Copies of this chain bind each other. A is one copy, B any other.
Amino acid sequence: MEFKEIVETRYATKRFDGQVLSGEKIDQLLEIIRMSASSFGLQPYVIKIVTDDAVKKELMPASFGQEQITTCSHLLVFCANLDVKGRIDEYAKLMGKSGVPQENIMPYIDVMKKFEAGLDEQGKLSWAQRQTYIAVGNAINGAKSLGFDSCPMEGFDPKAYSEILKLPENLIPSVLVTVGYAADEPKPKLRYPKHVLFQA
């Protein structure tokens, strides 16, 4: 499917049919998410994957009772990762393993560290969340490209999610993507005309 068709036909599914996606499909989706662009390549997020029905039910009240949570195959909880330093260290390892010469690694890592040091806690969270949303875009377009459906969701209680999923303090649940096979039909897509979004 052409990318143009993906973005035109993808829609926020309100109810899934409960069917579980094959391991192969999910692996393909995670691979697409893993390829997401991010600032410095740091991908400052962790995606918690929820498949257990009991956990989904427990999350329902913290999700304003939205049916996607319990009818989806996989619930992806995109968490901004405030441990950016940890990510920078991992990146240095990654560069080393990939055969980048040591003398090229340190200057790049230093730039990252300087950037990180210049962020306050709120700035760090906002920055990490922005990167997270690029991955969300890949997740929802990726699902469509692989023949299934998705819904990106901001309507949930992050604190309750943290508690139920026993997340460490550095992971801030920021946005959800539910995936599976749709049991609803798309409504006509409403989008602003070009002149609202673009200015020469």
Contacts and interface: CB of A to CB of B under 8 A. Distances in A.
A152 to B, nearest CB: 6
A137 B198 contact: no
A183 interface: no
B35 A12 contact: no
A43 B190 contact: no
Interface string A19-37: 0000000001011111111
A10 interface: yes
A94 B45 contact: no
A48 interface: yes
A130 interface: yes
A117 interface: no
Contact of A152 (B37, B49, B132): B37
A49 B199 contact: yes
B140 A37 contact: yes
Contact of A133 (B12, B34, B134): B134
A41 interface: yes
Interface of A: 1-4, 6-8, 10, 12, 28, 30-37, 39, 41, 43, 45-49, 51, 90-91, 94-95, 98, 122, 126, 129-134, 136-138, 140-142, 144-145, 152, 154, 174-175, 188-192, 194, 196-200
